[in-house]
Amino acid sequence: MNEIIVLGGGSLGLLLAGRLKASGCDCKLWTRTRVQAESLDRHGLTIQNESGEREERVEIQADPIDSAVTDEQGIVLLAVKQTALTPTLLARLAIAVPIGGTLVLLQNGIGHRELIEQVLPGRKLITAITTEAALRIDTTTVRHTGKGEILLEDETSHRLQSSALKRLLKRAGFSVFLSKQLEAAILRKLLVNAVINPLTAILRIRNGELIETPARLDAMRNLFRETFGLLSVRGLPGDEEELWNAVKRVCAATSGNESSMLQDIRARRETEIDSINGAIIRMAASQGRTAPWNEAVTALVKAVH
Ligand code: KPL
């Protein structure tokens, strides 16, 4: 039996750990601070439904990452942003997760897998993507603001781990799929995040408000066009019009949500701008091109912070 651990007490971490625990899974949470682990031990973890009217409370074992450790069978879901993958955290993870252990990478953007491969050699890495939406209300409470999907990389050598995790996540109520084409899904999610996140953060609006006026749609279309062009050279499959409609559909489907970047700005946390639009700017440079729209939104997100 694999031990399931969620690293990160942010919105996604609390949601995953809370739902897994509520479904009977023997799941633990590793937090970055001792204070959060103590309040989870004291108050339990509360999951609210979309409107916040109904809530469910679970008891969960929470340990600060500083004193955490698992064995080779452990499956650790890294539910922290790329910005949290600091040398200190990675050094702690190298102690907490032995060679042979499994790490599931749930970060937005690109570039984190290469970093983890380098500093945590010998661990089984499963890249994952999720479109679940959640909002952290406080250190022990999360609201599930939108139902999405979880895609887990289907790699033959880690199939036992990904299938076990898929089964547990499904039992916890998530829609989970194993995918051999994760690279395409990663680039598609990067496109969505590169367009919606910085614009909603700069304008301080909900996702649905981005498609409400022609001027906002115009800015969105320009940023989309530039990003789509660069990502297609990198291997993003799909037709421009089809993907443009898909980005607008995400705004409509998550219309009441604040993007994670806007949530970070409001909470005065570091944003993921460098791993999303920054990654696009670096991709442009590697193609011998520039990315003026991505450069502008990157500068503005940093300026409004
Ligand atoms: O992934 C998201 C995010 O906020 O990071 C979207 C899809 C934009 C939903 O808010």
Q: What is the mean pLDDT of the segment spanning 1-27?
A: 95
**In this predicted model, what pLDDT tens digit does every residue of 96-148 receive, in sequence order?**
999 999 999 999 999 999 999 999 999 999 999 998 989 899 999 999 988 88
pLDDT at 145: 87
Task: Tell me if 4 sits within 8 A of 26, measured CB to CB.
Answer: yes
Q: How far is the CA of 193 from the centre of ligand 1 (A)?
A: 6
Ligand 1 in reach of 107 Cβ (< 6 A)? no
Cα 244 from Cα 147, distance rounded (Å): 21
Checking if the pLDDT of 1 tops 80, the result is: no
Ligand 1 atom, smallest distance to 259 CA? 4
- Tokens representing residue 187 in the block: 């680039």
pLDDT tens, position by position, 175-193: 999 999 899 999 999 999 9
DSSP states of 38-79 as a string?
HHHHHH-EEEE-TTSS-EEEE--EEEEGGG----TT-EEEE-
DSSP 190-222: HHHHHHHHHHHHHHT--GGGGGSSHHHHHHHHH
Question: Tell me, what's the pLDDT at 51?
Answer: 86
User: What residue owns the CA closest to ligand 1's atom 10?
Assistant: 259
Instruction: Tell me the best of 197, 224, 273 to mutate to test the pocket of ligand 1, counting ligand atoms within 8 Å of each CB and taking the most.
Output: 197
Over the stretch 33-81, which tens digit does the pLDDT of each residue have? 999 999 999 999 999 998 888 999 999 999 999 999 999 999 999 999 9
Of all residues in the chain, the percent with pLDDT exceeding 70 is: 100
Nearest residue CA, atom 5 of ligand 1? Answer: 260
How does strand 133-138 pair with strand 141-146? antiparallel
List, for residues 48-61, the tens digit of each pLDDT value.
998 888 999 999 99
User: 253-280 burial string, b = 16+ CB within 10 Å, else e?
Assistant: bbeebbbbbbbbbeeebebbbbbbbbbb
Q: Which CATH architecture does the domain made up of 4-180 adopt?
A: 3-Layer(aba) Sandwich (3.40)
Strands in 69-175 per DSSP E: 75-78, 102-105, 124-130, 133-138, 141-146, 150-153
The CA distance from 126 to 141, in Å, is: 27
Question: Looking at ligand 1, which atom is closest to the CA of residue 108?
Answer: 5
pTM score above 0.95: no
Protein residue with least CA distance to atom 6, ligand 1: 259
155 DSSP 8-state letter: -
In the chain, what is the greatest distance between 2 CA atoms, to the nearest angstrom? 54
The span from the CA of 134 to the CA of 49, in Å, is 10
Q: What residues does each domain of the chain span? A: 4-180, 183-304
Is-contact 191 279, C-beta < 8 A? no
Cα separation, 34 vs 81, in Å, equals 19
Per-residue model confidence (pLDDT) at position 50: 87
CATH class for the region spanning 183-304: mainly alpha
Q: What is the number of other CB atoms lying within 10 angstroms of the CB of residue 115?
A: 14
Residues 6+ away with beta carbon under 8 Å from 161: 2, 75, 102, 124, 126
